[in-house]
Amino acid sequence: MTSVAIKGWCPSAHRPMHSGDGLVARIRPRGGRLSSAQAVAIADLAERYGNRLIDLTGRANLQIRGLCAEAHAPLLATLAQFGLIDADAEIESQRNMLVTPFWTDGDDTQWLAVQLERALSVGCLGLPAKFGFAVDCGDERVLAPNSADVRIERSADGGLMLRADGCPAGHPVARQQAVPAALSLAKWFLASGGASGGRGRMAAHIGNGARPPHMLVGASPASAATPPRPGLCSEGALVGLAFGQLLSTTLRFLAERAAGLRMTPWRMIFAEGLSEMPEHDGIVSDADDPLLRVSACTGAPSCQATHAETRTLAAALAPHMPAQAHLHISGCTKGCAHPGAAAVTLVANVDGFDLICDGSTRDAPARRGLTRAQILADPRALLGIG
Ligand code: SF4
């Protein structure tokens, strides 16, 4: 039987993580894209070996949930057959990339993503598990708010540039030099002491005064886009997923209708070639759907760390949230579903829910020990959103 990690800080296909509903295996689509055949294979795996639930993570990866240990070896064999895993866990762990889903055939994006993945697969650099890269070189930057440490972006003058996260400006790079320069910046991060004990992020390193040589001047990034919402564009349909989770049947439904599926870090999948918004269980097609105003982590019963069920509560509160406000419900202070601040945050603990206004799960609560019944009795008054 293949060895299975008992607990993982960052699950992968090679090292699944135990959760309340079994093992969780994370799959990193190459270039942020799945072919239809790959997506159907993942749906099949979720049905054969898992509990049919698939997460789309904030790093634009997919997670098959509810696996048993005996399923790990056949799962890996199928993922290898479809080109969805790396040679070993170390290489896989550093193939940590976000790719703008709004690319078109022949532009720089997919070429750069392929080159970067190849470069990262040559050897293990020893980067921290959370350290990642972004390929965000459309006319507008769409990944600026999302987690990445080394960014290949479009500059304001239309060229390519490299930017260390945390630096407002970057360095212009030629197409052929973008990936080697990105790796050099990652190596500088390590050499200059950015990582310790398997942890460390670029923005914090820059914030502590570290300065990558020749990387801070010469190029300003293109403007950042407004946050994407579900809808159609010329290349296909951006499809929302309630709480970033979908059933295997929903993944198969999309795979069978689209030319390919591009993963995003926004709880949305870009379905290539669709000219109508799809309608199916768990799909959020309407840009004004109240479910887009709430985030909720896995919670009970599927997470072992949680103190409460989260998603049915979030769904019940969603219609009460104003269009521009965001509600985050977290089963514990880790805040997996929404690490940043939200207009309203509810954090479960042994005494009930803490209520935090304009903050994150780690900020001081305005109210403590709220019960579910109290929250649901008059949500607008209690949450201060009346
Ligand atoms: S925030 Fe806590 S309860 Fe929610 S999924 Fe993460 S670890 Fe589990």
Q: Which residue is associated with the tokens 């049919």?
A: 52
Atom of ligand 1 nearest to the CA of 361: 1
Pocket flag, ligand 1, residue 299 (CB < 6 Å): yes
The answer to whether 233 touches 175, Cβ cutoff 8 Å, is: no
Residue 7: per-residue pLDDT: 44
Does position 280 have pLDDT exceeding 90, yes or no? yes
Q: Read off the pLDDT of residues 96-129 as tens digits, 9 standing for 90 and up.
A: 999 999 999 989 999 999 999 999 998 889 999 9
Distance 220 CA to ligand 1 centre (A): 37
| Out of 9-13, 39-43, 248-252, 280-284, least confident range | 9-13
> Predicted confidence band at 385 (pLDDT cuts at 50, 70, 90)?
low
Distance 303 CA to ligand 1 centre (A): 6
Taking the C-alpha atoms of residue 386 and residue 382, their distance in angstroms, rounded to an integer, is 9
Does position 346 have pLDDT exceeding 80, yes or no? yes
Residue 201: per-residue pLDDT: 97
What does the mean pLDDT of the chain come to?
94
Q: Read off the pLDDT of residues 177-187 as tens digits, 9 standing for 90 and up.
A: 999 999 999 99
| Amino acid code (one letter) for 289 | D
Pocket flag, ligand 1, residue 334 (CB < 6 Å): yes
| Amino acid code (one letter) for 329 | I
Residue 6: per-residue pLDDT: 41
Stated pTM of the model: 0.94
DSSP state, residue 177 = G
Q: Smallest Cα–Cα separation from 169: which of 225, 216, 201?
A: 216
Distance 335 CA to ligand 1 centre (A): 6
Let me know if 337 is exposed, middle or buried by CB neighbors in 10 A (0-12, 13-18, 19+): buried
Distance 67 CA to ligand 1 centre (A): 19
Distance 333 CA to ligand 1 centre (A): 7
| Among 123-127, 214-218, 343-347, the range of highest mean pLDDT | 343-347
Residue 324: per-residue pLDDT: 87
Q: Smallest Cα–Cα separation from 65: which of 293, 264, 303?
A: 303
Residue 62: per-residue pLDDT: 98
Pocket flag, ligand 1, residue 19 (CB < 6 Å): no
Nearest CA to ligand 1 atom 6: 336
- Catalogue the E-assigned strands of 175-251: 231-233, 236-241, 245-247
Taking the C-alpha atoms of residue 191 and residue 208, their distance in angstroms, rounded to an integer, is 15
Residue 96: per-residue pLDDT: 95
Distance 304 CA to ligand 1 centre (A): 8
Pocket flag, ligand 1, residue 303 (CB < 6 Å): yes
Atom of ligand 1 nearest to the CA of 335: 1
For 7-30, what is the mean pLDDT? 88
Beta-bridged to residue 134, according to DSSP, are: 98, 151
The answer to whether 304 touches 20, Cβ cutoff 8 Å, is: yes
Q: For residue 237, what are the CA distances in angstroms to 149, 201, 232, 258, 312?
A: 28, 33, 4, 9, 27
Atom of ligand 1 nearest to the CA of 332: 2
Residue 57: per-residue pLDDT: 96
Residue 124: per-residue pLDDT: 87
Distance 298 CA to ligand 1 centre (A): 6
Residue 335, sorted as left (phi over 0), alpha (psi -120 to 50) or beta, turns out to be: left
Distance 267 CA to ligand 1 centre (A): 17
Pocket flag, ligand 1, residue 329 (CB < 6 Å): no
Pocket flag, ligand 1, residue 361 (CB < 6 Å): no
Pocket flag, ligand 1, residue 61 (CB < 6 Å): no
Q: For residue 234, what are the CA distances in angstroms to 161, 267, 270?
A: 26, 20, 11
Distance 347 CA to ligand 1 centre (A): 10
What is the full DSSP assignment across 65-93?
EEE-GGGHHHHHHHHHHTT-S-SSHHHHH
> Taking CA 87 as the corner, what is the angle to CA 81 and CA 88, rounded to the nearest 5 degrees?
125
> Predicted confidence band at 296 (pLDDT cuts at 50, 70, 90)?
very high
Best mutation site among 65, 294, 298, 346 for ligand 1, i.e. most ligand atoms within 8 A of its Cβ? 298
DSSP state, residue 1 = -
Q: Read off the pLDDT of residues 185-208 as tens digits, 9 standing for 90 and up.
A: 999 999 999 999 999 999 999 999
Pocket flag, ligand 1, residue 336 (CB < 6 Å): yes
The answer to whether 203 touches 165, Cβ cutoff 8 Å, is: yes
- Tell me, rounded to whole angstroms, the distance of Cα 274 from its chain centroid: 23
Atom of ligand 1 nearest to the CA of 331: 3
- Tell me, rounded to whole angstroms, the distance of Cα 134 from its chain centroid: 12
* Domains detected in the chain: 17-86+228-284 (3.90.480.10), 103-137+146-207 (no CATH), 290-382 (3.30.413.10)
Does position 164 have pLDDT exceeding 60, yes or no? yes
